[in-house]
């Protein structure tokens, strides 16, 4: 079957912004080709996109047209792009890159995912569910709201955390990302203002932008004071009030990628500012109960609303992906019953519901959720400790954020070289998304996200490869040794 191309065209200026600080001390056309391939692999340039013509791109990047032509040829040879008469140079499907420039990263270490391995009791949980719920296989097998028993269990969990909740306020979804996109599709219209933290979970930003929303940013933990600066309450409130968004997306507890927690007082003030102005708020609590140190019972974001009616503006998203298993595609939305009704009506356009068997497993998991969280807490605390110690030993000049929970840290590498580091790491079979993946194009070149969800041995090997890429000991670019003063600018 022939590939289907879209009419999307990427301007030379837009591609230059996405490329960030791509040039190093090596061969220009190789670096350009590898940097474009990295954008394709990370999903920042999607299949069907037409790349800029050679002349405007060479002028924008300040390189010769020969350099761009050679880079495009390398991409064609690797199967990343295809040239068609009348269409230009078009990005092929992502599967085409597996045997091309990035074939090594498929079997290497992948730091793009921040999801732990399956919970150790999952097999026993599955066996118990099969024994006790054989009748589930007599049901139709899916539904758009969720099993009544599971909705009740999720509601009880919220109540235990300090937020009284009725089952009618719960919709079971196909994970957190499905929930975020469903909310965005239901509440946003083209041209609406939206608000997202920066840095943040990139797929949430993409969900808002896919609806045609204008995306404004709330800076978190990466301002002029570095990753330890945390939350600037005055600045956040001023931006929230000035933006007047239709929909805001927040990760208030154990933020991705910084691992920080928003102060409770700021939560209350931010809810008042946003909900008081008529905005809806998505509170992503996928990692809210994954604290470092000791398990903690953390109150949901909506519980901090000073006026009870403001709770109706908050749509809380959760899932079992980080706690039980990423392959257990069960998440949920807690919202006002009226909003749940709107979401269900919107959902029927895109899917027919969540599978019953997955919901049965989720129900059993919630029955022993405190034990699951205790095990995950011990596991992630040990891995976080190993990551921080490994950074201090191998890359002592890098500064990780003071995470208090979650599954990742946000690391200031000291130079605007994140994209180049990502490319050098790929040469060592290490997939490391560059900092700009978590914000606007061209931002966060000074930062990388490092998850600590993998076992200690894998983290140690990942840090070993990172150090080699940074120092150049492997024959890679030697990012940290070849930087010029132009790469020491502060991130704003």
Instruction: Provide the terminal-to-terminal Cα distance of the chain, rounded to the nearest Å.
Output: 47
Q: What span, in angstroms and rounded, lies between the C-alpha atoms of 281 and 216? A: 14
Quick check: 222 pLDDT over 60? no
Each residue of 338-396: pLDDT tens digit? 999 999 999 999 898 999 999 999 999 999 999 999 999 999 999 999 999 999 999 99
Pairing label, strands 193-198, 170-173: unpaired
The whole-number pLDDT of residue 136 equals 81
The whole-number pLDDT of residue 473 equals 41
CB–CB of 422/38 below 8 Å?
Answer: yes
Q: E strands, 220-301, where?
A: 247-250, 280-284
Q: ∠ CA(233), CA(238), CA(240), 5° rounding?
A: 95
Which of the pair, 74 or 150, is modelled with greater confidence? 150
CB–CB of 114/122 below 8 Å?
Answer: no
CB–CB of 248/279 below 8 Å?
Answer: yes
Burial environment of residue 294 by CB neighbours within 10 A (0 to 12, 13 to 18, 19 or more): exposed
Each residue of 146-175: pLDDT tens digit? 999 999 999 999 999 999 999 999 999 999
Quick check: 3 pLDDT over 50? no
Domains of the chain by range and CATH?
Answer: 12-104 (1.10.10.10), 109-117+372-488 (3.90.1150.10), 122-367 (3.40.640.10)
Two structure tokens written together for 320: 């079992």
Confidence grade of residue 77 (pLDDT, cut at 50, 70, 90): confident
The residue assigned the tokens 């949920």 is 332
Confidence grade of residue 26 (pLDDT, cut at 50, 70, 90): low
How many CB atoms neighbour CB 286 within 10 A?
A: 26
pTM: 0.83
Quick check: 25 pLDDT over 80? no
Q: ∠ CA(146), CA(147), CA(149), 5° rounding?
A: 130
Mean pLDDT lowest among 4-8, 228-232, 323-327, 469-473:
4-8
- Cα dihedral across residues 449, 267, 278, 334: positive or negative: positive
Confidence grade of residue 485 (pLDDT, cut at 50, 70, 90): very low
Two structure tokens written together for 146: 């969720």
The whole-number pLDDT of residue 289 equals 96
CB–CB of 491/416 below 8 Å?
Answer: yes
Q: What span, in angstroms and rounded, lies between the C-alpha atoms of 486 and 470? A: 17
């Amino acid at each position: 079957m022939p590939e289907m191309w879209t009419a999307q065209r990427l301007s030379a200026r837009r591609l230059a912004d996405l490329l960030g600080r791509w040039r190093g001390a090596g061969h220009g056309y190789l670096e350009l080709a590898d940097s474009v391939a990295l954008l394709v692999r990370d999903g920042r340039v999607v299949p069907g996109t037409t790349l800029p013509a050679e002349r405007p791109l060479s002028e924008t990047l300040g390189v010769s047209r020969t350099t761009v032509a050679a880079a495009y040829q390398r991409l064609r040879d690797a199967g990343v792009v295809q040239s068609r008469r009348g269409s230009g140079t078009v990005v092929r499907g992502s599967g085409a890159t597996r045997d091309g420039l990035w074939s090594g990263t498929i079997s290497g270490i992948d730091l793009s995912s921040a999801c732990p391995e399956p919970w150790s009791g999952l097999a026993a949980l599955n066996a118990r569910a099969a024994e006790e719920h054989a009748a589930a296989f007599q049901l139709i097998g899916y539904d758009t709201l969720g099993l009544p028993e599971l909705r009740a269990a999720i509601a009880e969990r919220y109540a235990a955390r300090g937020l009284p909740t009725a089952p009618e306020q719960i919709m079971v979804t196909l994970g957190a990302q499905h929930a975020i996109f469903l909310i965005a599709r239901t509440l946003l219209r083209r041209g609406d203002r939206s608000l997202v933290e920066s840095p943040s979970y990139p797929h949430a930003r993409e969900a808002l932008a896919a609806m045609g929303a204008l995306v404004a940013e709330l800076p978190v933990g990466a301002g002029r004071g570095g990753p330890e600066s945390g939350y600037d309450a005055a600045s956040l409130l001023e931006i929230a009030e000035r933006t007047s968004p239709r929909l805001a997306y927040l990760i208030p507890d154990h933020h991705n990628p910084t691992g920080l927690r928003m102060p409770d007082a700021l939560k209350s003030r931010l809810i008042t500012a946003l909900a008081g102005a008529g905005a809806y708020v998505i509170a992503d609590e996928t990692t809210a109960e994954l604290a470092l140190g000791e398990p903690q019972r953390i109150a949901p974001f909506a519980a901090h609303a000073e006026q009870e009616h403001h709770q109706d503006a908050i749509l809380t998203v959760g899932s079992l992906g980080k706690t039980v298993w990423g392959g257990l595609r069960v998440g949920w939305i807690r919202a006002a019953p009226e909003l749940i009704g709107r979401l269900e009506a919107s959902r029927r356009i895109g899917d027919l519901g969540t599978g019953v068997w997955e919901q049965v497993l989720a129900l059993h998991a919630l029955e022993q959720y405190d034990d699951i969280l205790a095990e995950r807490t011990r596991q992630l605390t040990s891995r976080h400790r190993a990551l921080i110690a490994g950074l201090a030993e191998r890359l002592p000049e890098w500064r990780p954020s003071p995470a208090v929970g979650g599954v990742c840290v946000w690391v200031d590498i000291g130079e605007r070289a994140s994209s180049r580091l990502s490319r050098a790491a790929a040469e060592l079979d290490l997939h490391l998304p560059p900092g700009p993946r978590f914000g606007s194009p061209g931002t966060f070149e000074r930062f990388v996200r490092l998850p600590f969800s993998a076992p200690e041995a894998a983290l140690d090997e990942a840090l070993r490869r990172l150090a080699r890429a940074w120092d150049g000991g492997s024959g890679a670019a030697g990012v940290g040794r070849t930087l010029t003063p132009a790469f020491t600018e502060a991130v704003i």
